[in-house]
Amino acid sequence: MEPVVQDYTSWNQLAQNIAFGCWVLSVLIVLGHLIKLSITGDAKDKYDYINKSEINLLWIASIILVVGCCFYANSNVVELSVLWIFVRLFTTISMGLIVALIIQNLLKFYYPFYVERRLKALRYKPRISPKSGTAMKLLSEEEEDAYLDEGMQAEENLFSTDYDVWKDEETGYIKIEKYAGHLHALQCPECNYQTFKVVREEIIKQPTAAEEGEILKHYQCGYCGHKARKTVALRQSSKIEESAAATA
């Protein structure tokens, strides 16, 4: 094939500029994330922010970075023919996809271990009371019920939701934090990735005033597909017990 005789300097320059632009944008996204993390003082806010955004932001930054690399790899054109264009396009796109796939796998299957460790530390980091400035105490499951209303207790029982109650023992100040359990993945017993989640819940036995009910949780691994079921005791919240007793 006849090489097209042309000067590609302007294209090379443009491709290089696009590449640098992508890299700068990618770095800015990561920097912005780090700044947001450092200025978020409240442990719970930080927890929610990391849980919701960190992996997505890193994924977006990675894609932009890879696109930048694709442009950079094509900013050295000296000679071009139709065949060359196809070869370059094909190589660039397939290399880009491979790298993106590797990064996606790292973010989906390995990175969550690191995120999980930090989230755990944030969740149990002693909260400081705004009233007395001292560390508050995290109440146990039994102690916290006194501070959760009926709806919250029902949610704790049913929807893989966890409420943490922090109490300032000096002033009695209470801080209640909500954690969505179903968004939260556990370590899969089969493949060991942090991808084991509750996908469905069903009540198999309604609780009565006298007896605990049972709830069946279906887990499935997002990586290897491993499934498991677990029954959990379903307590009746005290309010429901009272009304049931009243209507009986």
Which residues form the interface with Zn ion (CB under 5 A)? 188, 190-191, 221, 223-224, 226
Query: Closest distance between Zn ion and the C-beta of residue 192, in Å?
Result: 7
Of the pair 130, 189, the CB lying nearest Zn ion is at 189
At closest approach, how far in Å is the CB of 221 from Zn ion?
A: 3
CB of 195 to Zn ion, least distance (A): 6
Q: Please spell the DSSP secondary structure of the chain, one letter per residue.
A: -PPB----HHHHHHHHHHHHHHHHHHHHHHHHHHHHHHH--SHHHHHHHIIIIIHHHHHHHHHHHHHHHHHHHTS--S-B-HHHHHHHHHHHHHHHHHHHHHHHHIIIIIHHHHHHHHHHHHHHSPPBPTTT-SB-EEPPHHHHGGGS-HHHHHHHHHSSEEEEEEE-TTT--EEEEEEEGGGS-B--TTT--S-EEEEEEEEEE---SSS-EEEEEEEEETTT--EEEEEEEEPPPHHHHHHHHHH-
Cβ proximity of 74 and 15 under 8 Å: yes
Instruction: Determine the Cα–Cα distance for residues 199 and 232; give it in Å rounded to an integer.
Output: 15
